[in-house]
Amino acid sequence: MAEFQEKYTVLRQEQLADDIFRLSLDAPKIAAAAQPGQFVMVRTGESLDPLLRRPFSIHKVIGETVALLYKVVGKGTRVLTSLGPGDSVDVVGPLGRGFDLDGPGPRCLVGGGMGIAPLYFLARQILQQDTGPNPPILLGARTRAELQVLADEFTELGFVVLTATDDGSLGHHGLVTELLDDILHRVRLVQVCGPVPMMRTVARQCDRARVPCQVSLETHMACGLGACLGCTCPAREGGYKHVCKDGPVLSADEVAWI
């Protein structure tokens, strides 16, 4: 798989909510090579602190523009917010294994929090495959402020979107996983990205319903290239998977959910 290390020009920095931003880059090589579910490693600033690149899912690919959706949680993501149009940013990617695009349909996408990021790229790809009517996309977040803009963008693509928020400010008041059971009988594949407890729950729901499930895992990553072994997750068959090389997308039944 082709991967590149280059400096790309920032086209846009959008603030979608208090601590959620979207960075659009003019990144033709990544745009041409990327598959939904893959990620990039971003050098967040020019100084040595933070030293390590940070991993981000490829959120959108439109023409030669690649967008990353990110939440400010620490130093690296805070530095990223200072980038504006015309600045350049050093990025390695696309990396890892993405979602199975040839898997059976209809498929249901489930996203929680920043796990929604890779699902937009995936949803656009599904539309191009013309697999017939799609079941609803399920999206969850803490509040309406975090979710509304993103949910609207999936709706604009033509999907029915069911939302859930922790505080009940948008859609179902509760967990997004509580929306899945009613839909599972209509789908042949579930593809999910979000916090580990949410993906563990979805994996169990799918297992009970005998519906295949793919999860996109987020672990701490130092290199993103398979060199440091810093991104392991326990495998059901024993041993470990390296999320950056074997994933980040894995079949849910490959993971030893703890």
Ligand X SMILES: Cc1cc2nc3c(=O)[nH]c(=O)nc-3n(C[C@H](O)[C@H](O)[C@H](O)COP(=O)(O)OP(=O)(O)OC[C@H]3O[C@@H](n4cnc5c(N)ncnc54)[C@H](O)[C@@H]3O)c2cc1C
Segment 92-131, which members bind ligand X (CB under 6 A)? 114, 117
Q: How far is the CB of 50 from ligand X (least distance, A)?
A: 5
**Binding of ligand FES by 230 (CB under 6 A):** yes
d(CA 184, CA 108): 8
Q: Please answer whether residues 150 and 156 qualify as being in contact, where contact means their C-beta atoms are separated by less than 8 angstroms.
A: no
Q: How far is the CB of 15 from ligand FES (least distance, A)?
A: 29
d(CA 46, CA 80): 11
Pick the stretch among 65-73, 93-101, 126-134, 223-231 that binds ligand FES (CB under 6 A): 223-231
Segment 67-106, which members bind ligand FES (CB under 6 A)? none
Question: Which residue in the set 2, 62, 73, 160 belongs to the binding site for ligand X (CB under 6 A)?
Answer: 73
**Binding of ligand FES by 223 (CB under 6 A):** yes
Q: What is the DSSP string of 137-196?
A: EEEEESSHHHHHHHHHHHHHHT--EEEEETTSSSSEES-GGGGTHHHHTT-SEEEEES-H
**Binding of ligand X by 39 (CB under 6 A):** yes
67-93 CB burial, b ≥16 within 10 A, e <16: bbbbbbeeebbebbeebeeeeebebbb
Taking the least distance from each CB to ligand FES, the nearer of 12 and 245 is 245
Nearest to 126 by CA among 140, 147, 105, 110: 105
Q: How far is the CB of 128 from ligand FES (least distance, A)?
A: 30
**Binding of ligand FES by 221 (CB under 6 A):** yes
Pick the stretch among 1-9, 87-95, 187-195, 222-230 that binds ligand FES (CB under 6 A): 222-230
Helix (H) or strand (E) holding 199: helix 196-209
Binding residues for ligand X (CB under 6 A): 39, 50, 54-57, 69-71, 73-77, 114, 117, 218-221, 248
Binding residues for ligand FES (CB under 6 A): 221-224, 226-231, 242, 244
